[in-house]
């Protein structure tokens, strides 16, 4: 019934959890703790990797997201937009960014 969904599987293929999504995912990046999603409807979502619940409220981007990446230090998220712009989003506490 749901148009879009995010599913989590174990390494052995066991279905662990799933959540319905309101937007079409166009980009995804995984870290040890989070999954970062970019959407066609101009959103950036950060979800907990184990529960798939939103870790923070969605961040509006105004333009569809084509790629997402997390820096090696996990301090910033790099977001490539459809119009060619690269947005850098701080990914920690204000003192850490």
Domain ranges of the chain: 2-88
For 44-94, the pLDDT digits (tens) are 999 999 999 999 999 999 999 999 999 999 899 999 999 999 999 997 655
Using DSSP's 3-state secondary structure scheme, residue 45 falls into: strand
Condensed to tens digits (0 to 9), the pLDDT of residues 22-56 reads: 899 999 999 999 999 999 999 999 999 999 999 99
Residue 31 or residue 97, greater confidence: 31
pTM, full prediction = 0.86
* The pLDDT value given to residue 92: 66
Q: Is the domain covering 2-88 a CATH 2.40.128.630 domain?
A: yes
SS3 breakdown of the chain: % helix, strand, coil, rounded to 5?
0, 55, 45
């Amino acid at each position: 019934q749901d148009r879009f969904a995010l599913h989590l599987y174990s390494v052995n293929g066991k279905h662990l959890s799933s959540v319905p999504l309101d937007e079409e995912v166009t980009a995804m990046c995984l870290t040890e703790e989070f999954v970062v999603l970019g959407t066609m409807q101009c959103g950036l979502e950060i979800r907990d990797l184990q529960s798939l619940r939103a870790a923070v409220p969605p961040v509006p981007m105004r333009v569809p997201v084509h790629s997402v990446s997390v820096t090696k230090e996990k301090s910033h998220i790099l977001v490539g937009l459809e119009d060619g712009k690269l947005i850098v989003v701080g990914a920690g506490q204000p003192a850490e960014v």
